[in-house]
Structure 1
Amino acid sequence: MKKIYVLDTNVLLQDPRAMFSFADNEIVIPAVVLEEIDSKKRYMDEIGRNARYVSRLLDSFREWGHLHQGIMLETGALFRVELNHSSLSKLQKQFTEITNDNRILAVALNLQEEENVSPHPRPVILVSKDALMRVKADALGLIAEDFLSDRVVGEHSHIYSGYHKLQVAPDIIKSYYANRRLPLQTSFPQQRFYPHQFLVMKDECNPSISAIGKVDTEGKNLEMLLADDDPMWGIRARNVQQKMAVELLLREDIPLVTMTGKAGTGKTLLALAAGLLQIEDLQTYKKLLVARPIVPLGKDIGYLPGEKEEKLRPWMQPIYDNLEYLFNTKRSGDLDKILAGMGSIQVEALTYIRGRSIPGQFIIIDEAQNLTKHEVKTILTRVGEGSKIVLMGDPEQIDHPYLDESNNGLTYVVEMFKDQKLAGHIRLEKGERSVLAQLAADLL
């Protein structure tokens, strides 16, 4: 049975091509949604970009017919802008205030009333990213759904982890150590492995015997890790996932590395230590570029005084904290003198990355879970020849209003690149910052 989908404004601001995700059903855009999109199109951020994209897309639809009468999309869906059914009389007892949300609810409710008396009634479904909007719709007897087509995985727990644990026969581990490699197709014929995926094999007869390896580029053999246990600028891997992360960070044949994990698992510190080692000691890259998205936690502090570096300092302080630890600075101002003298470390905001080409650099993007798909695409397309980029963050700590664990830019890259030869991923699980930090990450 075909359905009628009424789209909330936030669906189009999250995915400007959302109307192509509803197969051959009917898609209704209330007129008030156009007003809300118009009010957002002057924003100089991702929301403004999407508002402008939707405006241009709807304008192009006019070539196919009058939008208030309905046009057929390439997916077979009937798309129309609803100018009628806007009466608030059905809602006035429950929601007295005249708001844009209530006007959208009124359209959906009035459409449902009309369908209920038709010979072949169709379900009317309100689609919104706003949880309270869905709650209000449910209270009115409307079917309400979240927009899920922008998610690359169903749940956060299903996100690719970068490693796999297996119980194996003793002979497999012995063969692996003897030959320093293991043919995967003969040893595990029923399993599928991704390039640069890690395997943790445990002896099924004696769990204390184990082996760690990395799947090769072709996904056919398991190979020994190349990275040794020598410290990187005083930092050494403390657990098996950190050891896997070091392997990915130090390999030149893997230009894209993604790392996820809770606060305190060592993502930023490991990435900075690996970058400094390859820039200052090995001279594999010319410069270390560290950037973070400017997304506040809680209420924004507003405009900041000073030059660009002074304005950025509060946002970039987590990076400077880790650099102070790596350089073992004792007094305030010592780190600034060191960085000025080196000249090979650049701490930047992602605001200034558009239009750049960045060759021969080790690039670290922190808090990448606050990036949208479009923003992460913009960043990755800036990477020049001979550069390596590391995207890291915690998908459970998102400050962006329209993102969640399943549709943010970091998760998008992890899932889209997991079967690519140029990319590697690892999820860090054990906190190493302190016992209190690990307990807080687990309990809160």
Structure 2
Amino acid sequence: MKKIFVLDTNVLLQDPNAIYAFEDNEVVIPAIVLEEIDSKKRNADELGRNARQISRMMDGMRNQGRLYEGIKLPNGGKLKVELNHRSFAKLQETFAEGTSDNRILAVALNYHMEEQEKPDPRPVIMVSKDTLVRIKADVLGLTAQDYLTDRVVNVPGDMYMGYLTIHAHPAIIDEFYTYRHLSVNSLNLTYPLHPHEFVILKDEMGTSKSALLKVNAEGKRLEPLFLSNDPIWGIGARNAQQRMALELLLNDEIPLVTLTGKAGTGKTLLTLASGLMKVEDERKYKKLLIARPVVPMGKDIGYLPGEKEEKLRPWMQPIYDNLEFLFDTKKPGDIDKILAGLGSIQVEALTYIRGRSIPGQFIIIDEAQNLSKHEIKTIVSRVGENSKIVLLGDPEQIDHPYLDASSNGLTYVVERFKDQNISGHITLERGERSHLAQLAADLL
């Protein structure tokens, strides 16, 4: 049976192509949604870009017919801008305030009540990224659902971890230590291993015998880690996942590295130490570029006093804190003198690196979970020859209003690049900042 999907504004602002995602069903866009999209089209951010895109798409569709009468979509469905089901009378009994959300719900409710009077009523479904809109729809007796098409993984727990633990016969572990490699086929797995994925082999007999291996770039052979566990810039790996992360960060053959994990797992500190080693010690890259998106509870930093550097300092302070630790500074302001003297370390807001071509640099993008798919594509596609980019973040801590753990840009990169031999990923799970920080990350 065909259905009627009523779309909330946030669905189109998140994915302008959402109108094509409902197969051969009818897609209804309330008129108030067009007004909300119009109010966003002048924004200079991702929402503004999507607002302009959906406006251009719908303007092009006018050539096919009148939008308020409905036009056919390429997938067999129908798109309609609704003008005749705007009555607020039936909704006022429950939600009296005439907000935009309530007016969108009124359209869905009026459609639902109209369909119920027919002998073969079609289901009416409210689609929204807003949890409260879905709750309100449920209160009104409407079917409501989240927009799931933009999700990279169905649930956050399904995200690629970058490593796995395999219980094997002790003879296989002995074979690895004898020949210093193993064929992936020797493990008789029912699932594939990805390039640069790490494997922890444990004795299935229950002894303490174990081995830490890495899948090679071709994905067919397991090899030992090529790095020793010696500290870099005074920082050493405190657990197996951190050692895996350093293996990826210090490998010049892997130009794209993604690290995820809770606060305090060492993502930023390990990456900065690796970048300093590659730039200052080995001179592999000519500059260390560190950037993070400016997303506090909104993106505007224009009302802060001072020049650009002073405006950016509050948002960049977590980076400076880590640099002060690595350089072992003693007095406030010492880190600024060190960075000015070196000249090879640049700390920027992400706004200022978009649109650039960045060759020969070690690039660190912190808090990448606050980036959308389009933004992450824009940034990664800026990477020039002989550069390495590292994306860091915690998909469970997102400040962006239209992103979640399953649809953000960082998760998108992790899942799309897991089969590529130029990338590597590790999920850090154990907090090393302090026992208190670990408990806070787990309990709060």
Scaled to the shorter chain, the TM-score interval is over 0.9
CA distance in 1, matches of 2:398, 2:179: 45
Match of 2:125 in 1: 125
**Other-structure match for 1:236:** 236
Deviations 1:125-162, CA, capped at 9 Å, x for gaps: 00011111111111111111110111010111111100
CA distance in 1, matches of 2:34, 2:333: 51
| CA drift at 1:354 | 2.0
Q: Which residue of 2 aligns with 1:357?
A: 357
Partner of 2:31: 31
**Structure 2 counterpart of 1:391:** 391
Q: Would the alpha carbon gap of residues 166 and 237 (structure 1) be closer, same or farther in structure 2, given more than 3 Å must change? A: same
Query: How far off is 1:301 after superposition?
Result: 7.7
Q: CA deviation at 1:228?
A: 1.1
Q: Give the distance between the partners of 2:285 and 2:270, measured in 1 at CA.
A: 17
Shift of 1:77: 1.1
Matched residue, 2:69: 69
Matched AA of 1:426: I
Number of aligned pairs? 444
Equivalent residue for 1:375?
A: 375
Residue identity matched to 2:134 = R
2:300, 2:290 → 1: CA distance? Answer: 22
| Amino acid aligned to 2:227 | A
Deviations 1:311-349 (A, max 9, x none): 111110000000000000000111111101100000001
Query: Is 1:49 aligned to residue 49 of structure 2?
Result: yes
Tell me how far 1:217 sits from its aligned partner.
0.9
The farther-off stretch of 107-116 and 315-324 is 107-116
| Residues 154 and 114 of structure 1, relative CA distance in 2, 3 Å threshold | same
- Does the C-alpha gap of structure 1 residues 294 and 149 become closer, same or farther in structure 2, counting only changes over 3 Å? same
- 1:7 alignment counterpart: 7
Shift of residue 189, structure 1, vs aligned partner: 4.4
2:269 corresponds to 1:281: no
Contact persistence 2:183–2:220 (CA under 8 A)? yes
1:299 Cα deviation after fit = 11
Give the 5 Å matches for 1:362-441: 362-441=362-441
Whole-angstrom CA distance in 2 between matches of 1:354 and 1:367 = 16
Give the 5 Å matches for 1:311-322.
311-322=311-322
Question: Within 2, Cα distance between the matches of 1:25 and 1:105?
Answer: 19
- TM superposition shift of 1:187: 2.7
1:165 lines up with 2:165 in the alignment: yes
CA contact (8 A) 2:369 2:408 kept: yes
Kept after mapping to 1: 8 A contact 2:302/2:311: no
Q: Which residue of 2 aligns with 1:18?
A: 18
In the alignment, residue 343 of structure 2 is paired with which amino acid?
G
**Residue 63 (structure 1) shift:** 1.5
Tell me, in whole angstroms, the C-alpha distance in 1 between the residues paired with 2:343 and 2:416: 35
Separation in structure 1 between the aligned mates of residue 409 and residue 185 of structure 2, nearest angstrom: 33
Aligned equivalents of 2:166 and 2:337: distance in 1? 49
Deviation of residue 103 (structure 1)?
1.1
TM superposition shift of 1:437? 0.2
DSSP 3-state at the match of 2:304:
coil
CA distance in 2, matches of 1:189, 1:67: 53
- Deviating above 6 A after TM superposition, structure 1's stretches of 4 or more consecutive aligned residues are 298-302
SS in 1 for 2:213: strand
Instruction: Specify the alignment match of 1:40 in structure 2.
Output: 40
Secondary structure of the structure 2 residue equivalent to 1:161: coil
Specify the SS of the correspondent of 1:91: helix
Q: Which residue of structure 2 lines up, in the alignment, with residue 59 of structure 1?
A: 59
Matches within 5 A, 1:201-240: 201-240=201-240
2:97 aligned residue: 97
Tell me the alpha carbon deviations over residues 22-49 of structure 1, each in whole angstroms, 9 at most, x when there is no partner: 1111000011100110011111111111
Instruction: Measure the CA separation in 2 of the matches of 1:403 and 1:247.
Output: 30
Deviations 1:152-175 (A, max 9, x none): 101111111000101000110011
User: Would the aligned equivalents of 2:168 and 2:187 in 1 still touch at CA under 8 Å?
Assistant: no
Identity %: 68
CA distance in 2, matches of 1:233, 1:14: 41
TM-score normalized by the length of structure 1: 0.98
C-alpha contact (below 8 Å) 2:152/2:411 kept by paired residues? yes
Instruction: Measure, in 1, the Cα distance between the counterparts of 2:355 and 2:80.
Output: 37
Gaps of 5+ in 1: none
Aligned partner letter, 1:364: I
SS in structure 2 opposite 1:326?
A: helix
Render the CA deviation track for 1:210-251: whole Å, top value 9, x for unaligned. 100110111100011011112110100000000000000011
Task: Give the direction of change, closer, same or farther, for the CA distance of 1:314–1:127 in structure 2 (3 Å limit).
Answer: same
Query: What is the 5 A alignment of 1:317-328?
Result: 317-328=317-328
Distance 2:189 2:400 in 1: 42
Query: What is the identity, as a one-letter code, of the residue corresponding to 1:123?
Result: P
Q: Secondary structure at the match of 2:89?
A: coil
Aligned 8 A contact 2:90 2:106 in 1:
yes
Match of 2:200 in 1: 200
Aligned to 1:148: 148
Distance (Å, rounded) in 2 between the aligned partners of 1:178 and 1:111: 71
In 2, Cα distance between equivalents of 1:284 and 1:301: 34
Alpha-carbon spacing, 1:299–1:279, altered in 2? closer, same or farther (3 Å): closer
1-structure distance, mates of 2:62, 2:354: 32
- Consecutive unaligned residues in structure 2, runs of 5 or more: none
d(CA) in 2 for partners of 1:15 and 1:90?
30
Q: TM-score, normalised by structure 2?
A: 0.98
